[in-house]
Amino acid sequence: MSMSEKIKIEKKVLSENDRLAGEIRAKLTAGGILALNLVSSPGSGKTSLLERILKDMGDKLRMALVAGDVQTENDAERLARAGGRVVRPIVTGGACHLDARMVGRVLEKLDLSDTEVLVIENVGNLVCPSSYDLGEDMKVVLISTTEGDDKPLKYPSMFRRSSVMIINKIDLLGHSDFDINRVRENARTINADLEIFELSCRTGEGLDAWYAWLIDTAAKKRKDRNR
């Protein structure tokens, strides 16, 4: 296949994805449901963050979680054990990102009438998930202090397309060369509007600010529907 043929097919796949994502977005917006697409490298703590949210906020915020994984349903099982009321796995069977068709298929079978926040845990990968709209309101990119503080510069498209950056594992600051000021600077160079939270799922530090944002943003989404 020639390069130009390859690009043509890729464009077609992405435009079909955008169409399906638009349908998902319309449906979620009609329901007043805030939808977050949670992205990160493998091992930054996406599932741990969601476990923690369920534990702390499970009775304050009605959440539905869709957990993408390349081969297993382990993350979805962890989240169900942590008390998630609506948790569904998506096993991509090798694909390194979720697409709108996979998410749409799962949402079709879900009763979201009682849901305020939908979090889609994407596959751990900072490259192609940035190109696939899943019908979310915003992407939330998670980075941990055990990674390089140049991640925003290495994966600019993901940080540009995200609205929120969460810096996780701040309890480990000082144990590596990770410089939290530098990561903030690097991220804001790429995306000046990025909202930044710093927290530790292990110690609980910083979680309150993130939860307050979550409650507030979900309330705004519900209000928009009633307008």
Residues in the site for Zn ion, rule: CB under 5 A?
Answer: 96-97, 128
Residue 88 lies near Mg ion (rule: CB under 5 A): no
CA distance 40 to 7: 26
For residue 199, which of 171, 178, 162, 159 has the smallest C-alpha distance? 171
From the list Mg ion, Zn ion, none, which binds 46 (C-beta under 5 to 8 Å, kind-based)? Mg ion
75 is a site residue for Mg ion (CB under 5 A): yes
For 199, left (φ over 0), alpha (ψ -120 to 50), or beta? Answer: beta
Beta bridge partners of 64: 86, 118
- Altogether, the residues listed in the chain come to a count of 227
Tell me, by CB under 5 A, how many residues bind Mg ion: 3
Report the C-alpha gap between 216 and 148 in whole angstroms.
Answer: 31
Q: What is the smallest separation between the CB atom of 78 and Mg ion, expressed in angstroms?
A: 8
Please give the residues from 178 up to 207 whose contact with Mg ion meets the rule CB under 5 A.
none
- Selected binder of Mg ion within 37, 40, 41, 47 (CB under 5 A): 47
Task: Please identify which residue in 46, 97, 139, 221 interacts with Mg ion, judged by CB under 5 A.
Answer: 46
CB of 67 to Mg ion, least distance (A): 7
Shorter beta-carbon distance to Zn ion: residue 97 or 139: 97
d(C-alpha 156, C-alpha 186), whole Å: 10
At a CB cut-off of 8 Å and minimum separation 6, what does 150 contact?
182, 186
Quick one: what does residue 128 bind among Zn ion, Mg ion, none, with the CB cut-off 5 to 8 Å set by partner type?
Answer: Zn ion
Q: Residue 97 binds which one of Mg ion, Zn ion, none, with CB within 5 to 8 A depending on kind?
A: Zn ion
Residues that bind Mg ion (CB under 5 A): 46-47, 75
